[in-house]
């Protein structure tokens, strides 16, 4: 996929990482807090943002690239324009990258439903119920603490990504019937990919 980008917020020079696909066991582990705020952490966050934009997705949690740390990156604001019918050429603009380290969700209110997808659960989209608003305390790449109040897509996406840090994938929040159906589909696809190798 060719990404066309002209935006100073794009992590130019960063590296694309491999995204882990369900049912990989790393997605089921509870991630560990980040304690060291160094250059390596900054580089990891830039690589995660790059990987997210390249996918292209709106959120990516560290377990999805095989790293069991409490980090996720997000951009719920940028524009994506597919320049050809196959979706092989994508132009992105108006980037608003966000990085959340050691996030903690507080003071949720209301309920909302949104059709979610996940880069680790390819080709599956379904309605998930979430809190409508949520406050999130988190640290930035320098270890400084922040608190923001969120609603709409930002709130939904934060809840989705925060679940990844607790070993929860969105299909596990659906009915048992739907979850079993999707899980079987994903296991079958994994077996097929394995057979093609």
Nearest Cα residue to 169 out of 33, 44, 26, 18: 26
Residues 6+ apart with CB under 8 A from 57: 119
CB 90 → Ni ion: shortest distance, Å?
Answer: 19
Angstrom distance (rounded) from CA 75 to CA 87: 20
Q: Contact between 58 and Ni ion (CB under 5 A)? A: no
Query: Largest alpha-carbon pair distance within the chain?
Result: 47
CB 50 → Ni ion: shortest distance, Å?
Answer: 17
13-52: contacts with Ni ion (CB under 5 A) = none
The residue at minimum Cβ distance from Ni ion is 118
Among 16-24, 30-38, 110-118, 182-190, the segment contacting Ni ion (CB under 5 A): 110-118
Of 16 and 89, which has the nearer Cβ to Ni ion?
16
Residue in the structure block whose two tokens are 């880069």? 119
Residues with catalytic roles: 161
Radius of gyration of the chain (CA): 17
Of 74 and 90, which has the nearer Cβ to Ni ion?
74
Please tell me the count of residues contacting Ni ion according to CB under 5 A: 1
Of 48 and 118, which has the nearer Cβ to Ni ion?
118
Residue in the structure block whose two tokens are 């694309």? 16
Residue 147 host element (H or E): strand 145-151
Using DSSP's 3-state secondary structure scheme, residue 22 falls into coil
Structure tokens at 144: 């400084």
Among 43-51, 75-83, 116-124, 134-142, the segment contacting Ni ion (CB under 5 A): 116-124
Strand 89-93 to strand 2-5: parallel, antiparallel, or no bridges (unpaired)? parallel
Q: Are 136 and 158 in contact (CB under 8 A)?
A: yes
CB 44 → Ni ion: shortest distance, Å?
Answer: 18
Of 143 and 167, which has the nearer Cβ to Ni ion?
167
Of 65 and 118, which has the nearer Cβ to Ni ion?
118
Among 118, 154, 165, 174, binds Ni ion (CB under 5 A): 118
Residues found near Ni ion in the complex (CB under 5 A): 118
């Amino acid at each position: 996929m060719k990404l066309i980008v002209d935006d100073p917020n794009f992590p130019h020079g960063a590296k694309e990482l491999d995204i882990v696909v369900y049912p990989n066991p790393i997605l089921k582990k509870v991630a560990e807090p980040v304690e060291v705020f160094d250059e390596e952490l900054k580089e990891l966050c830039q690589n995660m943002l790059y990987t997210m934009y390249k996918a292209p997705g709106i959120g990516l949690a560290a377990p999805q690239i095989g790293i069991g740390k409490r980090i996720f990156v997000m951009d719920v604001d940028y524009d994506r324009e597919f320049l050809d019918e196959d979706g092989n050429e994508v132009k992105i603009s108006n980037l608003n990258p966000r990085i959340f380290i050691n996030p903690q969700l507080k003071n949720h209110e209301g309920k909302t439903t949104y059709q979610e997808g996940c880069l680790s659960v390819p080709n599956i989209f379904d309605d998930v119920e979430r809190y409508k608003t949520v406050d999130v305390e988190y640290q930035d790449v320098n270890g400084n603490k922040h608190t923001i109040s969120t609603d709409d897509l930002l709130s939904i996406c934060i809840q989705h990504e925060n679940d990844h840090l607790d070993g929860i994938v969105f299909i596990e929040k659906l009915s048992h019937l739907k979850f079993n159906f999707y899980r079987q589909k994903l296991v079958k696809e994994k077996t097929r990919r394995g057979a093609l190798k």
